[in-house]
Structures are given as structure tokens and as C-alpha cells.
Amino acid sequence: MANANAFRSRDAWLAAMQERQPARVRLGEIPAGPVQPGPPFSLLCDGVPAWTRPDEWDLASEPDAPGPERTLRRLAWSHRASGLRCRLDVTVYDRFPALDWVLHIDNTGRGESPLLESILPLDAVFPHGSNETLRLHHANGSLCQMDDFLPQTTELRPGTRKRLAPAGGRSSNGVLPFVNLQHNGGGVVLGIGWSGQWAASFDRSGSDVRVAAGMERTRLRLHPGESIRTPRILALFWDGPDPEAGQNALRRFLLAHVLPRLEGKLVLPPAAQCLQGYYYATGKAGESIELEAVPKAAALGVETYWIDACWYGRTDRQWWEEVGTWVVNTERFPRGLKPISDAAHAAGMNFVLWFEPERVRPASLLAQEHPEFLLRCEQDRDNLLLNLGDPAARRHITDLVSRRIEENGVDVYRQDFNFDPLPYWQAADAPDRVGMTEIRHIEGLYEFWDELRRRHPRLWIDNCASGGRRIDLELLSRSLPLWPSDFTDVPGLGYGWNLHAGDQCINAGLARWVPLFGGGVWRFDPYATRSQIVGGFTFGMHLEQDDYVPPGGDGGFPCMEVLARGRTLFHPDFPHDAARAAIAEWKSVREFFLGDLHLLLPLTAAPHDWCAMQFHRSDLAAGCALFFRRHRSPYVTIAAGLRQIDPDADYEVSLSPGYEEGARRRLAGRELAALPVTLEAAPSSLLLRYRRLEHGRAKNGNKSRNRR
């Protein structure tokens, strides 16, 4: 049996994977008893742990396949009697102490496979001292609430168990599929790449933490020649006493190896304009309205023009009643959408178009023409699920969406998903095929998106699912979430000032795990826009304070009443100068959002707290920090406590309460790191920019002086 300390480092884990009896593994639903040897994944075969008799399995490996900054290793365990084969594709990264893997299971035999249950691609023991403090850092997912993505910490005491799982079959619906397991002196960040219903458990005995992750329920037989894949697992190791080291290691890793690129360059979330709020408020949408807005948006510095759910189906029905009828509404857009995308392109902007292909209404064209493509659920007869696990259904929707992309000049394909698929998958499963419909659907989703990108090499994908309810390792490799929480949509407007406290919580909370995403701006004053501009942002209208905040109140007016008061780009009172200044400020600091993130204060959604965060680029020796005194905070001054500042260097620093950058001054690093921040008004904000001066060190070795 391998040394259990293997699971404190990447290289030792790799060595353990390739041993005949690698390491102690037993977790999840495997019955209690002595820990069995075997690879760091597990499954039950006809009710028996697969590695009970390791001599019945043959282990084979292929030669390593080197790639750019990574190496692929393939291992396979074959069961001689049944023909069952477990293939592990392991990617090892050169610049990071990280590896990820996908488990594939094949039936190479002539008959049905054994009954496979509790298939766990991660099932391993992380050893720790019995007196060691262990903390599990995790986060809320998206639930359309102001504490979406709020950080959570669970102390794993001996004898305790923590279980995490989303709700309803969307991967970040309620909980984010990333965790940071901290021990004394370091830890490991674990990520789950599965866009359906996953589960993870963390069980601590006296000296071990047993970690298991995979699909929540699997109980199935494979037909002869049939194969399945399981969730992707990422393990990223880090050292030091501060868990932010692990969070920032994850951010760097995702930027380097996971997040989508076009022509080798990272896709960055844009400043975008969308009139969906105007459609909600007035019921109006159409070519003339959009064409009027396009040049006005471009004049503000907008990078992307966005049409959401108002372009298809019948005019006399709401957008959600028409999903499945992916035909341009010619009453609103008599020439299709191409004139609008052409105008956007001519103005230097990209063009975003919204779809929701997986949800199908019974009266839609797709339901009428291809009922065989759809899954049904007794709990919700108004919605049908397009079965992406059916190759014919997947080909149909791929061809249809691809045509719309080509016809309408789409640069960014926006896919939404506004209901829970899990009951539909479960209803379609046979008793001995539990989990199979979900597996095929998720495999089909990845193939659908990958094929769209193959057909349209310049296309990139915006991943929306009622906001950010389907954010995971696999979808992050293919897309960015440009609207990570529906709290920032119309529902949040009823929260008054708390809308912005929620924005700050959502943005800072998600940025701890995911470097690039978007958000929604409703008001072009510095406090409101800075609450949202951690990555990119979208706007459609502007609200004045009296439109959504009653005098002296925390809450707001009814959200639809607020929406009706909004001013769009073509309203005479729209604040064009403020919007232009907000976008210019965002562009001036967006490079720092690719750096490390430090929460300078504990993050909460409470109206009486401050929020403070810093973004630092070591390669630029520069960064920025955002400070928010919320509307109920009694505190006028805080100590900034900036991180990664060289105390012996000099920095050029500016403090900007408004959009106009404050006067630049020279500060010693030790003074900058401890700089007090004062905000007299509540609510208000401050943007701090800093850059280390090239000749900041005194030649004689004396500490640099503060020069004002």
C-alpha cells in the first residue's frame, strides 16, 4: 500500500495512481469496514467494492503524451472476468502543482456489465494529524439572492462530515463546485467539472479526511460496447498559512489553462448594452429601436451589442412561452437581425444573441415537429427538456442554432437554461440505468458547444442558467458567465440600496474562484457601477436614486415599478457623460482583474459593513483596490491593509472618489500598505490605483521617503 502522505502533493499522487495497490480509498456510499487498496477513484460492482480483489484487475499505461505546458497520461484497469475497463485520462501541468483527470468506464465484454453503483471519480484519503486544524473553504452558488457566491468556511473536526450538492441538476445552483481544503501549512483546491447533479463529501476521522466526489446517483449497467464518462476532477496544491494563496493559485490556473481563448488570446468579458429591460417595461422591441440604440452605445465606448429574449416567436406571447420556436419574429424584425449585427460591427462592436435551446414549450415549433426529441416530467407539464443525449436531437439543434448564428452575424452565442433538468432525467431512467440519461445529456451538451465552436471558429459562448447556476470546470473551459446572478436582474431592483451590497457580495465572492465574468449595471454613479465592474458588465437603462430607493429606507419600491422609471439610451435624460466616464474608468483598470484578488475585509452582504477588495498584477507591479462604505455603515475610516506591496519601494498612487482620477502622488510602500481610507458619505466608494516606480529604491540603501 502506498504512503498515504501521497495525497499532500501532486507528484506523490501521480506515483500512487500508477501503483498496483496505490492508496487507501473508500468513501461515499461504500459500506463501512476496512479501507481497501486501489486507485483514487471507486465504484461498486454488483454491490462489491471494485478493488476488493486487486489481483483480478490488470493495470496498463500508455506512453506519456506531452503537450504545451502539460502532459497527458493514460492509465487503464481491466477486469479480466467481466470485461469492464476503467480508463483514467490524467493531465499534469508543468507550471502548476496541479493535475486533473476524467474517468471513463467501458464494457468491453460480450454481455451486460456488472451493476455499477456509486461511481466516484474522486475517492481518496487526505491524511492529517489528529490535532491539526482543517478548514473547508467553499461558497454559495447562485439562487437569485444578494448573498450569492458568499464565502463559507466549515471547520472539519474529528468525527464530522460535510456534504455539498447543487439542487435540481444545474451545477452551481445553490453551491459552487469548487472547494479549498486547508491544513496546517497549505492545502488543496478541488474543482468538479460536471454540468449536472454532482455531490461531494468530506469525512474526517481522527487523522484522515476522506474526500469523495462524483455524480450524486449512479446505478446502471453498461451494454456491450457501451462507454460513459464521469465528472472531471481538478486537484491544485498550494503552500502557506493563508487560504488566499489557494484561491489565487486557482485564478492563475484557470487563466492559464482553462478559460476560453480565440486565436490564442483570452476572451474577456465586455462592456455591453442590452434593451431587454426596456422590453420588460414597455413590451416594445424591434429593428428601429435597436438601430437607434447602436450608435449611441458605440459613442459611450460599449464593446458588445446584445439582444436577449425578445427576437423570436409570436408577438402576442411572452418570451418564455415561445422557447422552442427559434424563428425570427418578422413583425418586430422584418429583415431579420442581420441589419442590427451589421450596424454593431460597423461601429466596432460584437453582437450577442440569446437562446434557450434545452427548454421547449409544448406549443412551440420544435415540440410540434419533433416530439421524439423531448423528455417530459409530470411535475411540470408546461416545460419539456430537449434530450441532448439523443444524437438526432443534438444534430437538429446544432444545425438550427448554427444557421441562426450564420444568418444573423452572431459573435457571442448566449445560452440560457431556466428550469431544473434533474426530474426529467430521473423520469427517463430505467431502474438499472439510474444516471444514464443525465450522463448522455451532459456529454451531449459538451459536444453541442464544441461543434458550434468548430463550425464558427470566431464564436465564443456566454453561459447563463437563470443567472450563474451552471458554472463549473467544464463549462468554464468553453464559456464565460456574463450574467452570474439573476439578483442583478429585475428582482434586485426591489432591494433599494441593498442591490449594490448584493452586487459587491456576488462579484467579490465569485471572483475568489472564477476570474472572468460579467454583471448588470442599473445606475451610472461610481458607487453603483464599481459594485459591478469586477470583470465586465451589461446595462440597458439608468435609474436615478429616487427611482428605486425610498427616502431613509433599506428596501426599494416594487421592482416592476422601478423598471418603468428607467431611462434608456434614447431617453432625453439618460446620463451619457456619466456612462461614458464609467466605461472609461472600467477600461483603465480591467487589466488588473487578471491578477490576484485579495479581500481586504471579511465579505458579507450586510448593509452596515464595508466591502474592500484588491486586484494585484505582480508582472506589472501594479494594481487597484475598490472600497465601499455601504448605506448603513457607521464607520467612516478603515485601514486598507493592501497586500503584495513592497515596503521598501516607492509607488505612484491615486485616490478617486469620482470618475475623474485623483491627483497622483508618491508613497513609500510601507505607507501605502497601511493607508487609511476615509469615506465621509454612506453610501460611497473609492478607487485606489497604484504602480511601483521603477527607481523606487534609494541607491544608498536607505528606505525611500514619502514624497508628496
Q: How far is CA 248 from CA 28, 244, 373, 640, in A?
A: 29, 6, 43, 19
> Which has the closest alpha carbon to 475: 173, 48, 119, 115?
173
Residue with cell 491544485: 236
Integer-rounded Cα Rg, in Å, for the chain is 26
Could you tell me if 707 and 666 are in contact, meaning their C-beta atoms sit under 8 angstroms apart? yes
* 403 Cβ contact list (under 8 Å, min separation 6): none
> Which has the closest alpha carbon to 84: 221, 213, 216, 214?
221
HSE, side-chain direction, 13 A CA sphere, residue 707? 12
Phi-psi region at 323: left, alpha or beta (left = phi > 0; alpha = psi -120 to 50): beta
List pLDDT tens digits, range 210-254: 999 999 999 999 999 999 999 999 999 999 999 999 999 999 999
CATH 2.60.40.1180 residue ranges in the chain? Answer: 591-692
pLDDT at position 12:
63
Q: How far apart are CA 246 and CA 695, in angstroms?
A: 32
pLDDT at position 355:
98
List pLDDT tens digits, range 640-650: 899 999 999 99
The pLDDT averaged over each successive group of 10 residues in the chain (708 residues) is 47 60 32 46 94 88 92 95 96 95 97 97 87 95 97 96 98 98 94 98 89 97 98 96 98 98 97 96 96 98 97 95 98 98 98 98 98 96 97 98 98 98 98 98 98 98 98 98 96 93 98 97 97 94 92 82 93 96 98 98 97 98 98 95 97 98 97 97 98 65 35
CATH architecture of the domain formed by 4-257: Distorted Sandwich (2.70)
Q: Which CATH fold topology does 591-692 show?
A: Immunoglobulin-like (2.60.40)
Q: How far apart are CA 437 and CA 421, in angstroms?
A: 10
Nine-digit cell string for 107: 464494457
pLDDT at position 51:
84
Nine-digit cell string for 674: 497601511
* 349 Cβ contact list (under 8 Å, min separation 6): 294, 297, 298, 302, 303, 304, 305
pLDDT at position 706:
35
Question: What single DSSP character describes residue 619?
Answer: T
Longest dimension (CA), the chain: 82
Could you tell me if 360 and 366 are in contact, meaning their C-beta atoms sit under 8 angstroms apart? yes
Q: How far apart are CA 411 and CA 607, in angstroms?
A: 39
CATH 2.70.98.60 residue ranges in the chain? Answer: 4-257
Question: For the chain, how far is it from start to end, CA to CA, in angstroms?
Answer: 64
pLDDT at position 698:
36
Percentage, residues of the chain above pLDDT 70? 93
Cα dihedral sign for 20, 21, 27, 28? positive
| Statement: the pTM of the whole predicted model exceeds 0.75 | yes
List pLDDT tens digits, range 392-410: 999 999 999 999 999 999 9
